[in-house]
Amino acid sequence: MIMLLILLSTSILGQEKKNDEKIGQQKHSVGVAAGFTTGFGLSYRYLPKKLGIQATFLILPNNYYSSFGATVLFKVIQRKNSWFYLYQSNLYSTYRTSGFNCGCPYYEWFNGLGFGTEILLGKHFGLNFMGGVGFYENFDKFTLTGETGLYFKF
């Protein structure tokens, strides 16, 4: 009887520990993101193990502005309340110009490279801060970049 109780309690403790370890390591995330090289708008992340992707897009009416971002994420450190990763981002944005070029569609590429961290807020929310360097406006400009995002993880 005692042996049985010990075995049962051990297995329950093990289960709890396993659940705790899974917090913050969910594969899927959806949320909103804003960044110079990762993109603005709705965002989805898929991170099965160490390597993952992030897709972010925003489409405004009348082709005024739209952007599509694809980012590769690589998890470096996983901790209980946070994780640290490296990213490589690619953003394609298009908009209608104003002034004497009025009405002409225009497009730009933005590419970034940097690091980021996700701070877990409770069991399902993650607040992201990312920083690095990036090429702006079709490789015309090279400078710092910063990105942020809030995700629901499941």
CA-based radius of gyration for the chain: 20
Residue type, 119: I
102 binds other proteins (CB under 8 A): no
From 17, 22, 50, 141, residue interacting with other proteins (rule: CB under 8 A): 141
Q: What is the largest CA-CA distance in the chain?
A: 87
Please name the residue that has the structure tokens 């075995």.
7
**Which position among 63, 78, 119, 138 is part of the footprint of other proteins (CB under 8 A)?**
119
Under the criterion CB under 8 A, does residue 84 sit at the interface with other proteins? Answer: yes
Q: Does 111 bind other proteins (CB under 8 A)?
A: no
The token duo for 24 is 């913050």
Helix, strand, coil content of the chain in percent (nearest 5): 20, 60, 20
Integer Cα distance of 142 and 144 in angstroms: 7
Which C-beta is closer to other proteins: that of 15 or that of 78?
78
Strand partners, 94: 66, 107
Q: Which of 25, 66, 131, 150 binds other proteins (CB under 8 A)?
A: 131
Q: Is 129 a residue that touches other proteins (CB under 8 A)?
A: yes
- For other proteins, the binding residues (CB under 8 A) are 77, 79-82, 84, 115, 117, 119-120, 129, 131-133, 140-144, 146
